[in-house]
Amino acid sequence: MLLVVCYRLNITVMSIKMNKTALKFFGIALLFVLVGAGIVWGVDYYQRVRSPEYQVELEMKKLEAAAKADTYGGSTPEETLALFIDALKKGDIDLASKYFVVDEQENGKKELVALSGTQVQNIINDILVAKKNSNSQEKDKAVFEYTKQVQSGFTEVGGKKIDIPFGNYLQTVVLVKNINNRWKILEL
């Protein structure tokens, strides 16, 4: 009987040792799997964050958030142009630049700041005579056109001077409706 008890005790001790060994093995294996999965996830995350597609996605989210927060502009294209002209007449370039689409506001402000008083007045006069193009089929886009007579001169494009001959040139002012249903200047 004592022999049977010792035999059973020996088997129990051996199975406990084997269970501890098996648990250690499975614990180490699980640790390797988790570390490997973490490395794969980390590399994938790093590559995703550095990808151009992800950068564009982030930029689009920023622009969308800025557009949602942007309350400037009129409920019609004509109202936006009137507000823009009013801001220019008052000399409020900061306010006038807020009537551009969000991603063009800084650039528009720089261009407006660089203009002389006469050039600003010319923009106002051009917009006042511009007529809405009724052929436009897009409901969230409005195009206003006017003819500009150019005596002669040059313009700079990409660092190169381009001669502009005398003549009448069709100019456009393009407005688009943003997320908040406000009309904003896309092109001037």
Q: Provide the pLDDT confidence category of residue 44 given band limits of 50, 70 and 90.
A: confident
Query: What is the rounded average pLDDT for all residues in the chain?
Result: 80
Q: Give yes or no for a contact between 154 and 164, defined as CB atoms under 8 angstroms apart.
A: yes
8 pLDDT more than 70: no
How much is the pTM? 0.64
What integer pLDDT is reported at residue 11 of this predicted model? 53
Hey, what's the torsion of the CAs at 128, 117, 119, 102, to 10 degrees? Answer: -70
Q: What is the mean pLDDT of residues 60-73?
A: 80
Q: Give yes or no for a contact between 76 and 112, defined as CB atoms under 8 angstroms apart.
A: no
What is the CA angle 38-42-43, rounded to 5? Answer: 120
Residue by residue, DSSP assigns 88-112 as HHHT-HHHHHTTB-GGGHHHHHHHH
63 pLDDT more than 50: yes
What integer pLDDT is reported at residue 157 of this predicted model? 65
Q: In Å, how far are 75, 82, 172, 175, 183 from 71, measured between CA atoms?
A: 10, 16, 24, 15, 10
